Structure 1
């Protein structure tokens, strides 16, 4: 395994990014004297938790939360004890409650990942308190390759905001569900995110195909 990569990447490790781009990006991150988030061991957590064949839904974020102790490698998700909730996540939960009548009890969305929801940021690292600070390192090559890889069969793609929608051209094929709306951030949520009903829309699409819907609100109880 190449330096700085976890063994749990599985089939994702076959992407050209890890051979052609990662060594340069890794060297740039190692040379950055600032605190880099999330911790290196969690940097590829989204890919580790949701392998290509298991992915049924993709939700595309921008970069990790820049507040220390929040980001753990999945877009929009945060460590379970995070209070208050990150503002975008708070708006996501508000929309979810309106859409399906419930929302998760804390900030941790890893249970979504285990159901086949890939929570992918378009940059997988950020300097602490420096939102967007690694946006030009070259992570976008990984984003495009992941979306292309997941174009092999129908999937649901949720693109919130102009940044995520800028990657729509990497999705090939005509049988996917592609949802576009404003970003859930406080700056834009009222311009089309609230009322967009993405959670019921994804589940209606999945069930129409005979697939199990996503349990968005909380880990399944037996």
Structure 2
């Protein structure tokens, strides 16, 4: 029996599901605290500070779910990652639904995933196909879209959390007023961003972006991409709109590695 002990202790252990407390979610402490600690850009604070009580409630609810055994995605510190792009620098808004429910995938940016994820999420693979068709850019092997963030592209999910393995599970959690506050801030800017609204879920937000130029098409998911997403040329259309308004076009290219 003693000879078996080292092997027993050396055996790889399965990764434990993190259990979060409410204070582990940066937004529990309010919008100003998020900005002070670098989780969101400072100019988003006026848009979100009126939602502080709701943010605290969301963190408390997520912590309770975590304590009950639910694996919460993505990690608390990246749930608001999209808003690291300052409000004043947003040129293009791309709206997603909710984070990927596969552990290790979601990274706080709509349609994106952590760089090491393989294979590509299917909707993103279709986005890359259209990018190639539209602009001639060769698809990259990774799903990291963070370079678009630095170009002024806000990759915003409508819901900022999800339970692992259960897509759409947090759609009724209470994120809607947070989304509305963000959209209102964008829509009320002197120069609202251009909005790419892919699919019916995103297009329901059209009225909230009434001052923005909108490009609507089918969603890039495998179920709908062939029904109006492929061939829609969203990337060249956005760049043409930006150029016509005197703004620098987006560099949609991504590094290969």
TM-score w.r.t. length of structure 1: 0.92
The residue that corresponds to 1:64 in the other structure is 99
Alpha-carbon offset, residue 11 of structure 1: 2.1
SS at match of 1:134: coil
Structure having the higher Rg: 2
Q: 2:162 aligns with which of 126, 136, 144?
A: 126
Determine if the alignment matches structure 1 residue 162 to structure 2 residue 200.
yes
The residue that corresponds to 2:224 in the other structure is 188
Q: Is the contact between residue 80 and residue 108 of structure 1 (CA under 8 Å) also seen in structure 2? A: yes
Q: Is the contact between residue 132 and residue 139 of structure 2 (CA under 8 Å) also seen in structure 1? A: no
SS at match of 1:21: helix
The separation in 1 between residues aligned to 2:53 and 2:121, in whole angstroms, is 34
The separation in 1 between residues aligned to 2:192 and 2:240, in whole angstroms, is 14
Deviating more after overlay: 157-166 vs 207-216: 207-216
Higher relative contact order (CA 8 A, sep 6+): 1
Q: Where do 4+ consecutive residues of structure 1 move more than 6 Å?
A: none
Determine if the alignment matches structure 1 residue 3 to structure 2 residue 28.
yes
Alpha-carbon offset, residue 90 of structure 1: 0.4
Deviation string, structure 1 residues 95-119 (Cα, Å, up to 9, x no partner): 1110000145221001101111000
The separation in 2 between residues aligned to 1:117 and 1:18, in whole angstroms, is 24
Give the length in aligned residue pairs.
217
The separation in 2 between residues aligned to 1:104 and 1:4, in whole angstroms, is 40
Change (3 A) 1:103 1:125: farther
The separation in 2 between residues aligned to 1:56 and 1:110, in whole angstroms, is 15
The residue that corresponds to 1:212 in the other structure is 248
SS at match of 2:125: helix
Q: 2:58 aligns with which of 25, 34, 40?
A: 25
Change (3 A) 1:214 1:39: same
Deviation string, structure 1 residues 165-193 (Cα, Å, up to 9, x no partner): 111111132xx320111111111111111
Q: CA RMSD in A?
A: 1.7
Which structure has the highest helix share of the two?
2
Deviation string, structure 1 residues 120-164 (Cα, Å, up to 9, x no partner): 000000001110010001112121111111111232001000001
Change (3 A) 1:76 1:140: same
Q: Is the contact between residue 104 and residue 216 of structure 1 (CA under 8 Å) also seen in structure 2? A: no
The separation in 2 between residues aligned to 1:23 and 1:132, in whole angstroms, is 21
TM-score w.r.t. length of structure 2: 0.80
SS at match of 1:203: helix
